[in-house]
Structure 1
Amino acid sequence: MSSMDQLQNSAITATSTNGDRESQQVLSSGHKRGGWVTFFFVSATLSGLMIAGWGWLTNLIVYLIEEFNVKSIDATQVANVVNGSINLVPIIGAVLADSFLGSFHVVSISSLFSLLGIVVLTLTATLSYLRPHCEIGSSLCHGPSKLQLAVLYSGITLASIGLGVVRFTLATLGANQFDNPTDQGSFFNWFFFTFYAACVVSSVGIVYVEDNIGWGVGFGICAVFNLLGWLIFLLGNRFYRHDKPQGSPYTSLARVIVAAIRKRKVPVSSESKDYYYEINDGDDKNSTATTPKRSFRFLNHAAVKTEGDINSDGSIAKPWRLCSVQQVEDLKTLIRIFPLWASTVFLATPIAIQNNMTVLQALAMDRHLGPNFKIPAGSITIVVLISSAAFIALLDRFLYPNWKSLTGRSLTPLQKVGTGHVFNILSMAISAVVESKRLKIAHDNHLQGQPGGNAAVVPMLALWLFPQLIVVGIGEAFQFPGNVSLYYQEFPVSMKSTATSMISIVIGIAFYVSATVVDLIRNVTGWLPNDINEGRLDNVYWSFVVVGILNFGYFLLCAKFYKYQNLQH
């Protein structure tokens, strides 16, 4: 599968640097650590933690509305903040793993955090005094007290930290168990398959239990899966290769900025002999053999050698006054890619808003499939997961090979991301049309809001939401591998772990931006009342169609001027 192979090969570059060192680690019995024996432990851990994490996260909006009497739009705002946090904390996990603790300890601790958080959520669902109540025989429902909110948010915080950190750190740990690039590539295939499968199982099974049997039972099952995943991970300890912290790559970036400022009055030379080139362990693959590039010329001051900067053995005497040319060029690479990265934030923001608003739409629609089955509102977004997984396979097996056969060239990462932009705009337009139809039916039937201000159910099948979610999945099938491939290829070698989490950071920021945008829309317009049947959610979607078109234009401009540094065909 070409795009996934591209992603995997880049990941292999990042993880194989420690291979020779790690391959020397052996079990006490004389057998080498690592290899496929570890895959059972890694995949079982991933399955348990994803089933547990997705089980509470997917249905969080419904839980807040039905059990804590939170207003519908307020519930989506809480979900935005939670999703944003979950997608931002992986960078913290990456720093801790690379610089201080190592992957094993980070996964162990974050798994425990996740378990403790889910246990607290289970207590809020089973102990009546930890959640608000409604007056018997009355539609009056009290809001949650400060204590109840404190317990609820404590559980959500712990569970969010655990779920956010463990995903990417576990992938790094798993890839480090292999020396052979073919084995590493195969591992990534099965890792992604396990991730999607676990999320689908949780979105269907766990959410159904929560909606139809009880929240306490559903959260309890999540806790059991989390505990099993954590225990299985610990049982595999004797088989893992343990990576050792190598120090933070972010320090060298800061050094470039500080050194450039301190040497701002030192003339920039055109001779390569005037610059410092560092060769690590006798390998000059990561060194730059020419003078620094003229772009962002101010930063070149950081690599200019002056008296007293270098020791007699050739090492740097003053690290915050002199940097290597490669470190300078690494920072420039990040600066060049930032505009493209920013466009992805605005690509993900409408998707974040749509993700939560779709749940509210589903709550106000007929979700029955036959007389005995009702689709849980929190499970409606599973369509995106299924669509993404299916179309990634279709694209890699059919579109990309045929495109290369017809044109003689492979689609570049930026071309894939651009295609994702187009499908995102299309999904917003479909969402607006469907919501307009739903609102018309609601107004024609003169539906009154339910107690608490939530919307009444409209006689319109929730299946009408499927087309927009399928199109979102198609867009993600293009832009997600495209973005990850771009970051893997273009990021400095020393920052491949950061590249792994870049798409997660984008999504996290997008959820925070979406929360801000929703607040702005609520304060400026009347489009998002608590009863969405009385609002104009369709106008919100149309607004994002316009924003998406403008952002696509900005992306095309950035892509036109961007020059690939390490494009792998």
Structure 2
Amino acid sequence: MPVSSDYKHDEEAPTTHVGSKQGGWITFPFITGLTIAASGWMTNLIVYLIEQFNVKNIRATQISNIVNGSTNFFPIAGAIIADSYLGNFFVISVSSIISLLGLILFTLSATLDSLRPKACKQGLETCEAPSHFQLAILYSAITLASIGMGGTRFTIATLGANQFDKPKDQGAFFNWFFVALYMASITGITVIVYIEDNVSWGLGFGLCLVLNAIGLAVFVFGKQYYRHIKPDGSPFTSLARVIVATIRKMNIMVSSDNKDYYYGHTGETKLPVDQGPTSSFRFLNRAAMKTEGDTEQERELTESWNLCTVQQVEDLKTLLRIFPLWSTSIFLSTPIGIQSSLMVLQALSMDRHLGPHVKIPAGSFLVATLLATAFSLSVIDQFFFPAWKKLTRQSMTPLQRIGVGHVLNIVGMAGSALVESRRLDVAKSHNLTHQLGSIVPMSAFWLVTPLVIVGIGEAFHFPGQVALYYKEFPTSLRSTATAMISLLVAAGFYLSTALIDLIQKVTGWLPDNINEGRIDNVFWVLVVTGVINLGYYITCAMLYRYKNVENAEEKSETANDG
């Protein structure tokens, strides 16, 4: 599997007091049962807004991007709650129930005519707008479904990884989980979206509802097999204490004597006393320095807002070191968000027939990215990585994988720009530029190649990022580490919404009739910003020093040699 060698080398197995039957691969089918329902409603949301609620094209893409951002932002909140207070199982269960409520409202809005405006007739510039009540039901459905999806996404991945002790098994779980996630998404984008477009929106949403309910029942039934790791309280409190303690001791000189630092009473630090705190961000070392004011009446040192352990200081340093790298990946998600939303509008205006009788739904073209990613994960693992190791005599690091993803993302955006230029030329040659809703006589399958390139890039950068953050983040922030990928996607989709809005205001590239616009220029802007961001990433990657990845690989190599 492509990321199996880079995951966290746990010197301490998860703390658990359960029998030997808990944990392991027996939990996999129960954990992955909640992956399919979201793809059916979220992937086709743009088409639903345009066709059923008479929302303008570009406005529909902005709403979709906000929804995508929200479903990727909520996992951070879920991860913090899971890590700090309630645990993964409770957060996932409650989130799935909330998702059910959202899908119930979606099904009702698609089934009851009173919850939708009258259908817009072909070619009309103005259509009946939805009422406030209809919008309230629609946005309530979107909000509940988004919260529910966000609460399970990535938190469930962490729950799965916690079922294993060995890094190799954790890495294998993540890969198979991704495969299951992508295959479920492919099913949703093809089967469910086809039902929504060609049979009934109510039936499609109803199917999502049933699948969500079945997935929740299977997940809860597997409770007896899970390892349940008790939360230790908020890790963010200790990080905040480091900042406060540092500020309070700003006037104290930083000591170079390791014995002047506090390592805790319970041996929670993994650093030997003779090693001491690291030299990076040296000013933070003040938070762990022992002073007279850090003692109780019994003259015994204790953790407080004046004194922190060396491990807590090092945990905060880890986050600060990795933040620049994390920020570079925001512009991996932003172009993908813009491409996926604009692609739906492009497909709606192109010939989507596969043969004389089959018409592919516009939202289903996104399956090209998912298929490319799912297929590439196994190909990269079986052929690319062994070839890389044979040529370089080293395993490909997470940073190198992410870098390859950056390059392929740029190539994919350039491909989208070229395809759109071709589409506009065909529209002009057939005098279709001023006809709203006209179909350009050009196959929508031209859109597939750029999507495939982006999908291959995702097979590199997505597992690479999960490997990097899960490995390098402090142990107390495991769920937060995997959810950091989700936060990246959220920031990317929010930024894509803002960027589309900005382009609309300062250019004429994105009118509601895209045949009059210049979507190709939008993609070229993404290419330029991608190149600049790649330079920023390379700089950050060259300056970054692994904390755990290389150690784990060295131990793995030593074990293999032995």
TM-score range, shorter chain: over 0.9
**Judging changes above 3 Å, is the alpha-carbon distance between structure 1 residues 185 and 552 closer, same or farther for their aligned structure 2 residues?**
closer
Q: Show the counterpart of 2:184.
A: 198
Any idea what the Cα deviations from partners look like across 1:363-410, whole Å, max 9, x if unmatched?
A: 111000001111111111110011011112111111111111122122
**Judging changes above 3 Å, is the alpha-carbon distance between structure 1 residues 429 and 188 closer, same or farther for their aligned structure 2 residues?**
closer
Structure 2 residue identity aligned to 1:268: V
Residues 258 and 273 of structure 2 are in contact (CA less than 8 Å); yes or no, is this contact kept in structure 1?
A: no
Tell me how far 1:445 sits from its aligned partner: 1.0
Q: How many Å separate the matches in 2 of 1:366 and 1:190?
A: 36
Tell me how far 1:204 sits from its aligned partner: 0.6
Tell me how far 1:208 sits from its aligned partner: 0.3
Asked if 1:117 is matched to 2:102, the reply is yes
Q: Show the counterpart of 2:5.
A: 6
Structure 1 residue identity aligned to 2:27: T
Any idea what the Cα deviations from partners look like across 1:181-228, whole Å, max 9, x if unmatched?
A: 665455434322221211111111000000000101100111011111
Alignment of 1:546-557 (within 5 A): 546-557=528-539
Asked if 1:240 is matched to 2:240, the reply is no
Q: Show the counterpart of 2:513.
A: 531
Residues 53 and 116 of structure 2 are in contact (CA less than 8 Å); yes or no, is this contact kept in structure 1?
A: yes
**Judging changes above 3 Å, is the alpha-carbon distance between structure 1 residues 5 and 136 closer, same or farther for their aligned structure 2 residues?**
closer
Q: How many residues align?
A: 550
**Judging changes above 3 Å, is the alpha-carbon distance between structure 1 residues 289 and 513 closer, same or farther for their aligned structure 2 residues?**
farther
* SS in structure 1 of the partner of residue 4 of structure 2: helix
Asked if 1:392 is matched to 2:377, the reply is yes
Structure 2 residue identity aligned to 1:388: T
Q: CA RMSD in A?
A: 2.2
Which range moved further: 201-210 or 390-399?
A: 390-399
Alignment of 1:416-427 (within 5 A): 416-427=401-412
Q: How many Å separate the matches in 2 of 1:42 and 1:69?
A: 38
Any idea what the Cα deviations from partners look like across 1:351-372, whole Å, max 9, x if unmatched?
A: 1111111111111110000011
Which range moved further: 282-291 or 502-511?
A: 282-291
Tell me how far 1:495 sits from its aligned partner: 1.8
Task: Select 2:396's aligned residue among 406, 411, 416.
Answer: 411
Q: Show the counterpart of 1:435.
A: 420
Task: Select 1:518's aligned residue among 479, 497, 500.
Answer: 500
Q: How many Å separate the matches in 2 of 1:13 and 1:138?
A: 62
Structure 1 residue identity aligned to 2:468: L
Q: How many Å separate the matches in 1 of 2:342 and 2:54?
A: 18
Structure 1 residue identity aligned to 2:162: N
Q: Show the counterpart of 2:324.
A: 339
Tell me how far 1:132 sits from its aligned partner: 0.9
Q: Show the counterpart of 1:39.
A: 28
Which range moved further: 174-183 or 112-121?
A: 174-183
Task: Select 2:476's aligned residue among 470, 494, 505.
Answer: 494
Structure 2 residue identity aligned to 1:527: W
**Judging changes above 3 Å, is the alpha-carbon distance between structure 1 residues 335 and 284 closer, same or farther for their aligned structure 2 residues?**
closer
Tell me how far 1:272 sits from its aligned partner: 1.1
**Judging changes above 3 Å, is the alpha-carbon distance between structure 1 residues 79 and 137 closer, same or farther for their aligned structure 2 residues?**
closer
Tell me how far 1:157 sits from its aligned partner: 0.6
Structure 2 residue identity aligned to 1:561: L
Which range moved further: 155-164 or 411-420?
A: 411-420
* SS in structure 2 of the partner of residue 246 of structure 1: coil
Structure 2 residue identity aligned to 1:372: H
User: Which ranges in structure 2 are unaligned for 5 or more consecutive residues?
Assistant: 554-562
Task: Select 1:541's aligned residue among 518, 523, 542.
Answer: 523
Tell me how far 1:175 sits from its aligned partner: 3.1
Residues 413 and 526 of structure 2 are in contact (CA less than 8 Å); yes or no, is this contact kept in structure 1?
A: yes
Residues 527 and 540 of structure 1 are in contact (CA less than 8 Å); yes or no, is this contact kept in structure 2?
A: yes
Q: Show the counterpart of 1:558.
A: 540
Alignment of 1:74-473 (within 5 A): 74-134=59-119, 139=124, 141-179=127-165, 184-278=170-264, 280=266, 282=267, 285-286=270-271, 289-311=274-296, 316-317=301-302, 319-447=304-432, 455-473=437-455
Residues 337 and 496 of structure 2 are in contact (CA less than 8 Å); yes or no, is this contact kept in structure 1?
A: yes
Q: How many Å separate the matches in 2 of 1:431 and 1:137?
A: 28
Which range moved further: 457-466 or 224-233?
A: 224-233
* TM-score scaled by length of structure 2: 0.93
Tell me how far 1:117 sits from its aligned partner: 0.2
Q: Show the counterpart of 2:13.
A: 17
* TM-score scaled by length of structure 1: 0.92
Q: How many Å separate the matches in 1 of 2:24 and 2:537?
A: 41
Residues 287 and 325 of structure 1 are in contact (CA less than 8 Å); yes or no, is this contact kept in structure 2?
A: no
Which range moved further: 302-311 or 53-62?
A: 302-311
Structure 2 residue identity aligned to 1:13: D
Residues 83 and 480 of structure 2 are in contact (CA less than 8 Å); yes or no, is this contact kept in structure 1?
A: no
Q: How many Å separate the matches in 1 of 2:93 and 2:44?
A: 26
**Judging changes above 3 Å, is the alpha-carbon distance between structure 1 residues 472 and 279 closer, same or farther for their aligned structure 2 residues?**
farther
Residues 350 and 514 of structure 1 are in contact (CA less than 8 Å); yes or no, is this contact kept in structure 2?
A: yes
Tell me how far 1:293 sits from its aligned partner: 3.0
Structure 1 residue identity aligned to 2:463: P
Asked if 1:63 is matched to 2:52, the reply is no
Any idea what the Cα deviations from partners look like across 1:318-337, whole Å, max 9, x if unmatched?
A: 51111112211221221121
Residues 287 and 326 of structure 1 are in contact (CA less than 8 Å); yes or no, is this contact kept in structure 2?
A: no
Q: How many Å separate the matches in 2 of 1:177 and 1:565?
A: 24
**Judging changes above 3 Å, is the alpha-carbon distance between structure 1 residues 71 and 414 closer, same or farther for their aligned structure 2 residues?**
same
**Judging changes above 3 Å, is the alpha-carbon distance between structure 1 residues 75 and 101 closer, same or farther for their aligned structure 2 residues?**
same
Q: How many Å separate the matches in 1 of 2:120 and 2:93?
A: 44
Tell me how far 1:95 sits from its aligned partner: 1.2
Q: How many Å separate the matches in 2 of 1:302 and 1:447?
A: 67
